[in-house]
Structure 1
Amino acid sequence: MDRLRAQLARFEDAFPGFHVEIVEGSVVASPVRPFDGETVQRLWAVVEPQLPPGWDVVSGVVFPFDDAHEFCPDLAVVPADAVAENRIAYPADLIELVVEVVSPESVRNDYEVKNKQYASRGIPNYLIFDPQKGHVITLWNPGPDGYRGRDMLPYGGRVTVETRIGRLTVETSRLPVGPGSGGG
């Protein structure tokens, strides 16, 4: 796994602007679009100040799940002491909340594969922000086959998520939306 991780790091270095993960045993490289990057930056700026002491936000950090899945979430809320270790990979069990921003290339992975994988590891909350559709999906109550709780909210208002570490609120009206999305 360390050798594969090193190869992935070289791949990302060779192809800047791509997000690389292992999904269902395959190396998946997705281009990072301006709307994706802007959404991640805005979400980080909103989520981080709301976290209680002892928690922090990371982005693009490796979380191995098993030999077939190694994800680099767009944002993950994890214990601050783990972040302070400054490692290249962290146990998935540390994640309290995970956020993915959907691109056209990541639709299946974000909505289906990660839904099941994140839930099966017991990650309490999963948020999917979709600039192409102009909505956010909040998922909670993880089970072995996915999340049992699900809400879809159009961009344009506040989204509040109750987590074990406190309430997080995101104003979605300023998030970028794709042409023809109907959101925003």
Structure 2
Amino acid sequence: MTIAPDHARRDLLQYQVMRDIVERMQESVPGKLEITKEGIVHDMMSPGGPHELTAARVSRRLEKVMPEGLLAHTGTPDVEDAHEGVMRHPDIMVIAESDMEVEGPFDARTLLAAIEVVSRSNPDNDWVSKMRDYPLLGIPVYVIFDPRTGTGAVLSDIHPTPTGPRYATRKDFVYGEEITIGEWTIPTGQLPRYA
């Protein structure tokens, strides 16, 4: 039997309280609620057309080049690591179908990549908070599409730092260029921009 140190138990209890709050509130508030190391994040606005169209096109392009048994999933549930105190909902999750055969949230460490389309209302959630949380969750590749600017970045190669794990490699791109996500290369042309 392993007994967790008091601070670890307290952190896990605090996370569970936040998770219960998110579950109770999610249906009654607009937008999306997620849990970060700093607490609950609320993206006030539901994603609009350009955001959803970008996610759909990127998902479709990935699924055309990935092998059978992998999905570029755009639905629910969330991904979480309760011990790290983080629950997130990527816009697209590259994951094996077999890793989706679970009840409740997906194990974040089963994701091959997380892809986000930057929210118009809260861009720092994608460019700052998730850039910190995804390597902490062990997600090997994080890709950001930013319809505000028509640019993005592919982040990979998690490495330890004094402030926690971070991505060591960042490859910026402009819409229209081809990018490589994990082992798969896709075009980024004909993605919508925010007006």
TM-score normalised by L of structure 2? 0.77
Secondary structure of the corresponding residue to residue 110 of structure 1: helix
Q: Which residue of 2 aligns with 1:146?
A: 166
Spell out, residue by residue over 1:37-92, the C-alpha distance to the aligned partner (whole angstroms, 9 max, x if none).
1111111111123222332233342111345421011111122112233x330111
5+ long unaligned stretches in structure 1: 180-184
Determine if the alignment matches structure 1 residue 43 to structure 2 residue 63: no
Aligned partners of 2:19 and 2:35 also within 8 Å: no
| Pick aligned residue for 2:151 from 120, 127, 135 | 135
In 1, Cα distance between equivalents of 2:32 and 2:184: 26
Aligned length: 173
Q: Which residue of 2 aligns with 1:115?
A: 131
Moved more, 38-47 or 58-67: 58-67
5+ long unaligned stretches in structure 2: 1-14
In 2, Cα distance between equivalents of 1:97 and 1:112: 17
After superposition, residues 14-29 of structure 1 pair within 5 angstroms as 14-16=28-30, 18-29=31-42
Identity %: 25
Determine if the alignment matches structure 1 residue 77 to structure 2 residue 103: no
Determine which structure has the larger strand proportion and give its number.
Answer: 1
Bigger-Rg structure (1/2): 2
Secondary structure of the corresponding residue to residue 39 of structure 1: helix
After TM superposition, give the deviation of residue 109 of structure 1 in Å.
2.2
After TM superposition, give the deviation of residue 119 of structure 1 in Å.
1.6
Query: Could you tell me which amino acid in structure 1 is paired with residue 88 of structure 2?
Result: F
Q: Which residue of 2 aligns with 1:63?
A: 79
TM-score normalised by L of structure 1? 0.81
